[in-house]
Amino acid sequence: MRLSLKFKNTLRAAIILYAIKTIMALIIVMPTWIYLSGKFGLSLITDGFWPIPQRVQLVELFWQVRELAVVVIPLLLIAGLLYFLAVQFAFGGICAAILRDGEFSPASFCRDSGKHFGGFVKIAVAAVPFFIIAFLVFDLVGIFFGKLVGLIASDASATVIAAFIIFLALYCLAGYLIILRFIQIRINKTSLRLAVKYSKLIMRTQARRFLALNLLAGLLTSIILAITFLLIGAICKMEYGFLAAFFMVVLQQLIIFVGSFLEAMQISINARIIKEYDYGT
């Protein structure tokens, strides 16, 4: 029963994240598609541009610097900001429900989301430079190990190893941000300073478990992402038509949902870190 409830909560969290991602994708795709169709109706840009953009269409679009700067890029920035705020809002209700193993009732979800929204935004904004630093540092580490692998295997294998190391590092950093969110819920304060302070106490006893869980989850996530990229590549090689477009739309939605579920799964596994620290189990 307990396992079933945990899985249900993870699935509910995935559905919420999937809905947010889908809505944000529509905010980007629909206005952009309508604008491009009206502006370039007689050009190659709208001839098979979506859902499988071809090289010719992308090259022609990139030549339209003014249209990109005035319409497309601002639209992407606005949608990105809306997505960022919507996700931080939803994280409050998701994390609170998963941490207490409770139901996702609309009232409690909205209450928790609004209550922790400010603190979660602080965490996300403060984490930006750390993500940049982690990327630069582990890019060098990845290049080093990639070169070692390149001496034995192909250059493609070296590139994969380097990208894999960077991904795992960023994944663990994202897991640490989840820990900070859970701490803010536990102490019922939106203080970033206090969250970092308490996280140091937790990591003294839970660091190895934290790394083990997040590295394993990151490994699983990277394998799934690799499979999806291979599928996208296979569909893009198909002749453009209804069948290829249908497969691409289905795959796009599947990727969004699977990505949302993997994100919810990372939240769930890091909730175990907090619970084990709290109860010593």
pLDDT per residue over 231-258, tens digit each?
877 776 766 667 777 777 788 788 888 8
Alpha helices in 188-281 (DSSP H): 192-236, 242-279
Mapping DSSP onto H, E and C, the string for 222-240 reads HHHHHHHHHHHHHHHCCCC
pLDDT at 67: 60
Which of helix, strand or coil describes residue 79?
Answer: helix
Which of helix, strand or coil describes residue 178?
Answer: helix
7-16, 103-112, 113-122, 220-229, range with greatest mean pLDDT: 113-122
pLDDT at 61: 60
**Distance between CA atoms of residues 236 and 151, nearest Å:** 32
Among the residue ranges 29-38, 68-77, 152-161, 181-190, the one predicted with the least confidence is 29-38
**Distance between CA atoms of residues 226 and 258, nearest Å:** 13
Q: What is the pTM of this model?
A: 0.80
Please list, in sequence order, all residues whose beta carbon lies within 8 angstroms of the beta carbon of residue 114, skipping any fewer than 6 positions away: 89, 92
**Distance between CA atoms of residues 191 and 207, nearest Å:** 22
Sorted by where each begins, the domain ranges of the chain are 2-279
